[in-house]
């Protein structure tokens, strides 16, 4: 089909929550590249918002999907599922978690974390402990509970009244957090690096302080690693940067490398609060999702993609900092590994992203003044060099505008 026919169908039949999309439709991909229906080649430095960690059509992922689909795709959680058990073990072996529950998305994984924190205290005879403190500028998903947890008005406004019992505090302000904790608090939930809020870093001092506060108050630290997890920041889990461990953390995005799956991971003493009947999912952890995710996880581990993310991230951030010296409207380059934000002093982020697209590079913006780069973890130095050259030229054009 021609692009204009696809756009026409979309406008006529699809609920318009995504507005005017970038005018392109991709037909196939390989590695870091995507090809559009009109035959143009693109370099993908956005990975479908930190999802396609292995790039596109990685043979390990494709073969895992094929092999499982040929056996069978789905059975219910009334039966034991080999790939589910194996994937849970792989996650536990490589993280601080003791137990895992699978969902279909990041928001759903966060719902599971919120429910687990609440039910834990209910079962301990402390039903008044149900409030969760989250951070301003955070993003935790699009369900009613997770938009209430999210610290951004734009996601919440249309849906008030919001699910109650979520409190917001500013990031990196330990005093504010201390003051917000009451006898009703059951958990603090945050992203180790805020993604949708604009690649905002959390300081090590703050994270350590939050951990200490949680221990002192006997409440849980929930980390939303949906975007930061599985190598994105140059560590397998972003909490490893801080020298702390959460009680509960959530994963999705890179976990399936493009196949929908999420996970709620917890320490054993917390996870025990979920007993038969307390939580569930029809699709969550089904054979196809788990065997696909197992192949993705194994590939990330076996092909040293976490180390590659750290190394390429350092190089990428270094090269971007050189551009910052040259183009004064770049005021900051921030991030860890391959989770990178470029702060502008103007509101041209969207226009610059569009110019990159027109030059064959896919990146993103968050809000008007932050450009976001989230490449596949298989990124090579030559990919970065190619982009930097084009980006430099584009920035020069914008400087003269």
Ligand X SMILES: *Cc1c(COP(=O)(O)O)cnc(C)c1O
Catalytic residue numbers read: 139, 224, 253
Cα 175 → chain centroid: 28
Which of 34, 107, 169, 207 lies at the binding interface for ligand X (CB under 6 A)?
A: 107
To ligand X, the closest distance from the beta carbon of 101 in angstroms equals 15
To ligand X, the closest distance from the beta carbon of 8 in angstroms equals 27
111 near ligand X (CB under 6 A): no
335 near ligand X (CB under 6 A): no
Which of 33, 83, 227, 369 lies at the binding interface for ligand X (CB under 6 A)?
A: 227
CB closer to ligand X, 129 vs 253: 253
To ligand X, the closest distance from the beta carbon of 279 in angstroms equals 17
Note if the bond before 91 is cis, omega within 30 degrees: no
Contact pattern for ligand X over residues 231 through 270, marking x by CB under 6 A: ---------------------xx-----------------
In a 13 Å sphere around the CA of 187, the CA atoms on its Cβ side amount to: 26
DSSP-derived letter for residue 126 is -
Instruction: Give the integer Cα–Cα distance in Å for 341 and 158.
Output: 28
Which of 196, 308, 316, 362 lies at the binding interface for ligand X (CB under 6 A)?
A: 196
Structure tokens at 132: 């969760």
To ligand X, the closest distance from the beta carbon of 391 in angstroms equals 24
Structure tokens at 59: 């043979």
Q: Please, which residues have CB within 8 angstroms of residue 22's CB and are 6 or more apart in sequence?
A: 354, 357
To ligand X, the closest distance from the beta carbon of 232 in angstroms equals 10
Angle at 140 between CA 195 and CA 54, to 5 degrees: 55
CB closer to ligand X, 229 vs 287: 229
Instruction: Give the integer Cα–Cα distance in Å for 309 and 208.
Output: 24
192 near ligand X (CB under 6 A): no
| 3-class secondary-structure state, position 296 | helix
User: How far lies 218's CA from each of 96, 120, 191, 240, 275, in Å?
Assistant: 19, 12, 20, 22, 21
Select the span of 101-109, 302-310, 316-324, 379-387 touching ligand X (CB under 6 A): 101-109
Interface contacts to ligand X, rule CB under 6 A: 105-107, 110, 139-141, 191, 195-196, 224, 226-227, 252-253
């Amino acid at each position: 089909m021609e692009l204009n026919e696809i756009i026409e169908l979309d406008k006529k039949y699809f609920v318009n929550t995504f507005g005017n999309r970038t005018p392109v439709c991709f037909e196939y991909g390989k590695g870091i590249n995507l090809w559009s229906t009109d035959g143009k080649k693109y370099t993908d430095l956005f990975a479908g918002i930190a999802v396609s960690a292995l790039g596109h059509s990685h043979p390990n992922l494709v073969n895992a999907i094929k092999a499982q689909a040929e056996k069978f795709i789905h059975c219910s959680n009334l039966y034991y599922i080999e790939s589910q058990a194996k994937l849970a073990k792989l996650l536990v072996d490589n993280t601080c978690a003791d137990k895992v529950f699978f969902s279909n998305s990041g928001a759903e994984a966060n719902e599971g974390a919120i429910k687990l924190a609440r039910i834990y205290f209910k079962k301990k005879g402390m039903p008044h402990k149900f409030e969760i403190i989250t951070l301003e500028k955070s993003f935790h998903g699009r369900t009613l509970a997770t938009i209430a947890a999210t610290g951004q008005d734009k996601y919440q406004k249309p849906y008030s009244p919001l699910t109650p019992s979520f409190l917001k505090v500013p990031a990196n302000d330990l005093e504010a957090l201390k003051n917000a904790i009451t006898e009703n608090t059951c958990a603090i939930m945050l992203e180790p690096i805020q993604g949708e809020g604009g690649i905002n870093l959390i300081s090590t001092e703050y994270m350590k302080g939050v951990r200490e506060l949680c221990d002192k108050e006997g409440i849980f630290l929930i980390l939303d690693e949906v975007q930061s997890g599985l190598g994105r920041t140059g560590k397998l889990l972003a909490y490893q940067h801080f020298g702390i461990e959460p009680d509960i953390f959530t994963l999705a995005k890179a976990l399936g490398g493009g196949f929908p799956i999420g996970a709620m991971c917890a320490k054993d003493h917390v996870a025990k609060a979920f007993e038969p009947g307390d939580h569930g999912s029809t699709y969550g952890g089904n054979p196809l999702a788990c065997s696909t995710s197992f192949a993705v996880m194994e590939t990330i581990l076996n092909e040293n993609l976490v180390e590659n993310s750290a190394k390429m991230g350092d190089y990428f951030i270094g090269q971007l900092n050189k551009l910052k010296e040259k183009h004064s409207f770049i005021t900051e380059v921030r991030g860890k590994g391959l989770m990178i934000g470029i702060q502008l002093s103007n509101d041209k982020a969207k226009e610059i992203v569009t110019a990159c697209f027109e030059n064959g590079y896919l990146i993103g913006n968050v809000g008007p003044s932050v450009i976001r780069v989230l490449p596949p973890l298989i990124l090579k130095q030559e990919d970065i060099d190619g982009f930097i050259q084009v980006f430099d030229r584009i920035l020069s054009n914008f400087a003269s505008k």
